[in-house]
Amino acid sequence: MDREELKKEMIKWRRHFHKNPESAFEEVNTSNYIANLLQEMGYKVTTGIGKTGLIADLKLGTSEKIIGLRADMDCIELDEKLETEYKSVNKNRMHACGHDGHMATLLGTAKILSKEKNFDGTVRLVFQPAEEPGKGAKEMVKDGLFTKYHVDEIYGLHNMPGLEEGKIYTKVGSIMGSEDDFVIKIHGKGSHASAPNMSIDPLVIAANIILALQTIVARNVSPTDTAVVSCTELHTDGIRNAIPSNVIIKGDTRSFSKDVQILLEKRMEELVKNICLAYGADYEFEYTHEFSPTVNHKEQTEVAIKAAENILGKENVVANCQPTMISEDFGYFLTKIPGCFVFLGGAKKDKEVIALHNSMYNYNEDILIKGAEFFAEIIRIRLKK
């Protein structure tokens, strides 16, 4: 098929998504738009999986093998400041993480495969909702993805504006971290600021806890493992001339393994409990697992590397990239079935890098076709005729 025509079509799709963003589990119009396009291409579409998610199948030949390719659909809740003809028309909604580009990439792959028809088996395209809050993958699995709708293995990608344009980066094993959130509530005893002896000062206790939490990574986590503990919010019910009765500390932790996640949770609560006990305060401790670490499987990563080298050239593939502590909902899929996740670089030479989740972010449309051809090559390899 004509590569230039496909590039133009993918840009049109991407700009439509960018102009009409929908956030987590709101992606009704987005899902309908995708479903209509895929049906026109000859795919069998099933909607309502994971609330607003959908899958689309194209089966050729006799093989029973099913390969999944995934794109995320939701935007983030942010007002766009970048002025373009396709600027978001929805207040406090913006595709500032590139999911508009991911959807267009997978649609481009769908178009390539539907035109070439050069594989034996089933391609299952997975358009996932609610990646940003880490809820969509779980909802799709709960609705039967991988059981009712069997998938043998799955692949995904994420654009990275800070990495070199048009290069694929991946690795075997942990490539992105988990995200666990915590809330620590300290219940002390308030008093007038002039009479601290009448108080059980929760701010002093909170300060001790915040410092103590940093010792977990330094003194409890193995030096060969990686972890981050970040306290990001501090709230009190006090005023300038009054010591508060209550303080709330919020934050998150990041790691690459389940064992480290368990260790962080255990040590955090032990420190909170005993510091509060020492000062005579009460506490509440909440710890929730939001994102699984993204851990690539060896066989599927080797396939992704080969596909990337075939399409982009070996010089444009980094096969053992540095992992990152950002989190991705795709990690939950990889706890259920084998697969691989890759980064697709989008940084243009001599241009300022605008980070993801920035109100001025704009997807590098020159990498759309490269992502689509990479995905299509995975299918050619895994469903070889």
Three-state DSSP at 39 gives: helix
Q: Which of 131, 139, 153, 252 is catalytic?
A: 131
Told to judge if 74 belongs to the known catalytic residues of this protein, a careful annotator would answer yes
Dihedral, CA atoms, 34, 38, 44, 47, nearest 10 degrees?
0
- Amino acid 92 reads N
Here the tokens at position 293 are 């670490």
Q: Which of 26, 27, 74, 329 is catalytic?
A: 74
Three-state DSSP at 76 gives: strand
Dihedral, CA atoms, 125, 129, 133, 137, nearest 10 degrees?
-50
Nearest to 226 by CA among 274, 178, 180: 178
Q: Please name the residue ranges forming H helices in the chain.
A: 3-19, 28-40, 99-116, 136-142, 202-219, 258-279, 298-312, 330-333, 368-382
| Gap between the Cα atoms of 122 and 124, Å rounded | 6
| Gap between the Cα atoms of 144 and 71, Å rounded | 18
**With contact defined as beta carbons under 8 Å apart, do 353 and 162 qualify?**
yes
Told to judge if 309 belongs to the known catalytic residues of this protein, a careful annotator would answer no
> What order do you get walking across the sheet with 44-49 strand by strand?
44-49, 53-60, 121-128, 66-72, 153-164, 339-347, 168-169, 317-318
Residues with active-site annotation: 74, 131
